[in-house]
Amino acid sequence: MLSTTARTTLNRGKDRGRTDRADLYAVLDAGLICHLGVVADGCPRVIPTGYGRIGDTLYLHGSTGAASLRAALAGPVCVTVTHVDGIVLARSAFHHSVNYRSAMIYGEARMVEDDGERLDALRAITEQLAPGQWDAVRPPDRKELAGTAVVALSLEEASVKIRVGPPKDDEEDYELPVWAGVLPLVVSWGEPLPDPLLPSGIPVPDHIRYRDSAAPH
């Protein structure tokens, strides 16, 4: 179960809240990009970035000189992941909505210093974007690792909201001659585009060509 704190308690749309930790994992594992919220030099910043999950820990990475990661280590952070599944079209403008899945995580980030954990984290981040890719490519060398910072955030304090289903109109509006329903949003992968410098004869690997059927990570 997800923990309940002052920051994760839902004040609006409580019926959309989910308390099962499996729902949190599902939202995170289905995503590609998260948004990292920090306060840097007294100004709020929200940075889109890649991420990876191992158990109850979320990992982010960037350059060792990244101001966003320095700010993340200096104070509390908020990380969000959102999926838009459809536009909910109602009979009135007021009741239009969005079907979505979202997760919000609060906490104190820590710098990952252990070499083994750093490699595991970088693998998780790579596999989040392209399952199967880590084992297919050259691993990072010492110079690359020295220039890369990895931070970890516990998933202890998190909330999940999910909306599904048709519009909810006012009772008197159901008789209006206005089309209402859901316009689903479907995201799919296109045909892989080879690097122009790729030598001939190197085929697209199965984990990329058949990405839609790849095993969940």
User: For residue 6, is it within any domain?
Assistant: no
Is the pLDDT at 22 greater than 50, yes or no? Answer: yes
Q: How many domains does the chain have?
A: 1
User: For residue 95, is it within any domain?
Assistant: yes
| pLDDT for position 21 | 96
User: For residue 52, is it within any domain?
Assistant: yes
User: For residue 4, is it within any domain?
Assistant: no
Letter string b/e over residues 107-139, b meaning 16 or more CB atoms within 10 A of that residue's CB:
bebeebeeeeebbbbbbbbbbbebebeeeeeee
pTM summary value: 0.92
Q: Each residue of 73-106: pLDDT tens digit? A: 998 999 999 999 999 999 999 999 999 999 999 9
Q: What is the CATH number of the domain that holds 61?
A: 2.30.110.10
User: For residue 5, is it within any domain?
Assistant: no
Is the pLDDT at 216 greater than 60, yes or no? Answer: no
Q: Average pLDDT, stretch 181-191?
A: 95
User: For residue 192, is it within any domain?
Assistant: no
User: For residue 113, is it within any domain?
Assistant: yes
Q: Average pLDDT, stretch 64-81?
A: 94
Q: What is the mean pLDDT of the chain?
A: 94
Q: Residue 141 sits in which domain range?
A: 14-168+178-186+200-212
Give me the count of residues in the chain: 217
Q: Average pLDDT, stretch 205-213?
A: 87
